[in-house]
Amino acid sequence: MITGMTGFGASEITLGKVKGIVEVKSVNHRYLDVAFYLPVGFSSLEDKIQKIVASRIKRGRVTVSVKITERPHTNILLNQEVVKRYLNFAKELGKKHHIKNDITVADIMRLPGVVEAKEVFVEAAEIWPVLDKALRKAVGGLALMRQREGKALSADINGQLKRMLLQISRIKGRSSFLLKESKTKLTSDEFSSYQKSNDINEELSRLAHYIDEAKMLLKQDEGSGKKLDFIAQEMQRETNTIGSKVQDKDVAAAVIAIKSKVEKIREQSNNVE
């Protein structure tokens, strides 16, 4: 069964006090194109993430987002040696100038070099085993949604193909009628010329063949989008030839109906992986 190219998947990350979320989404694209939105220091994981995505997704623009929502609190360090120096300096200054030493803890905390705050960063290598599992789960959810879209696309395209077959049947019937009618009105030479110029059996046969090919593609698991687009182009070409050969309003109406359905198939092929 064909798959679509639109989907979304997400999974949570938990490693000690570190929590986060992985989100993977995809939209239509001619090829596989993966974009990354990762925390600082995680760029080294891009190749690994690319391989996981490529193992399940063959076509589409895929966005992988990793967000760290919780991490250990910032570490606060007190430089004891610096505090001693400040206190000794304040004590000597008070004795020398007979100044009352009323320095407070708050005063010391505001002095340069006394307190140092160090932000705790999440190491990519440390969190990768957990991120790996979460990413595979998110990509699996994305793939499942694309499969559901594929079923809907397959049903729609099959419907268009069935309606095309009805129009082909009408063209065959009308063409046969026109041939019989012309035979009674035209001379032998005129009829022979008319028969050659209005012969559309080959085009109708090819059109029916392409419909069968399209139905077979809808049963394939992957890589059908580009092939389906190519077949739709060929359908359009054969239909145009039929319209140019048979100058009849009923055939023209059927040709327009077929072209409309072929165009819808081409549009849907852009949604197929």
- For residue 238, is it within any domain? yes
- For residue 1, is it within any domain? no
Confidence of residue 19 (pLDDT cuts 50, 70, 90): very high
Q: How many helices (H) and strands (E) does the chain have?
A: 8, 6
Position of tokens 């995505």?
A: 53
Closest CA to 164 of 219, 226, 215, 221: 215
User: Do 141 and 154 belong to one domain?
Assistant: no
User: Do 167 and 223 belong to one domain?
Assistant: yes
pLDDT at 119: 61
pLDDT tens for 257-273 read 999 999 999 999 999 99
User: Do 161 and 235 belong to one domain?
Assistant: yes
User: Do 34 and 141 belong to one domain?
Assistant: yes
User: Do 141 and 11 belong to one domain?
Assistant: yes
Our count of domains for the chain comes to 3
Closest CA to 13 of 129, 99, 184: 129
Residue 172 has pLDDT above 80, yes or no: yes
Angle between helices 225-245 and 124-185 (to 10 degrees): 20
User: Do 27 and 133 belong to one domain?
Assistant: yes
- Decide: 51 and 135 in contact? Cβ < 8 Å: no
pLDDT tens for 31-56 read 999 999 999 889 999 999 999 999 99
Boundaries of domain holding 27: 7-72+125-145
pLDDT at 157: 96
User: Do 214 and 265 belong to one domain?
Assistant: yes
pLDDT at 109: 82
pLDDT at 117: 67
pLDDT at 7: 96
What is the CATH number for 259?
Answer: 1.20.140
Position of tokens 């505090």?
A: 83
**Rounded to whole angstroms, what are the CA distances from 105 to 27, 76, 110?**
58, 16, 9
**What are the structure tokens assigned to 24, written together?**
């993977």
pLDDT at 75: 65
pLDDT tens for 53-85 read 999 999 999 999 999 988 776 667 788 888 888
What is the CATH number for 58?
Answer: 3.30.230.40
Average pLDDT along the chain: 91
User: Do 94 and 35 belong to one domain?
Assistant: no
User: Do 138 and 54 belong to one domain?
Assistant: yes
Residues 129, 134, 140, 145, Cα dihedral to 10°: -160
- For residue 164, is it within any domain? yes
The stretch 160-188 carries a mean pLDDT of 92
Q: Is the pTM of this model over 0.85?
A: no
User: Do 40 and 134 belong to one domain?
Assistant: yes
Percent of the chain whose pLDDT exceeds 70: 97
Closest CA to 75 of 115, 120, 109: 120
**What are the structure tokens assigned to 129, written together?**
């085993």
User: Do 64 and 181 belong to one domain?
Assistant: no
In order, the DSSP letters of 187-227 are -HHHHHHHHHHT--HHHHHHHHHHHHHHHHHTTSSSS-HHH
Percent of the chain whose pLDDT exceeds 90: 67
Position of tokens 């064909």?
A: 2
d(CA 111, CA 107): 7
User: Do 206 and 85 belong to one domain?
Assistant: no
pLDDT tens for 101-156 read 788 888 888 888 878 766 657 889 999 999 999 999 999 999 999 999 999 999 99
In order, the DSSP letters of 127-143 are HHHHHHHHHHHHHHHHH
- Decide: 174 and 225 in contact? Cβ < 8 Å: no
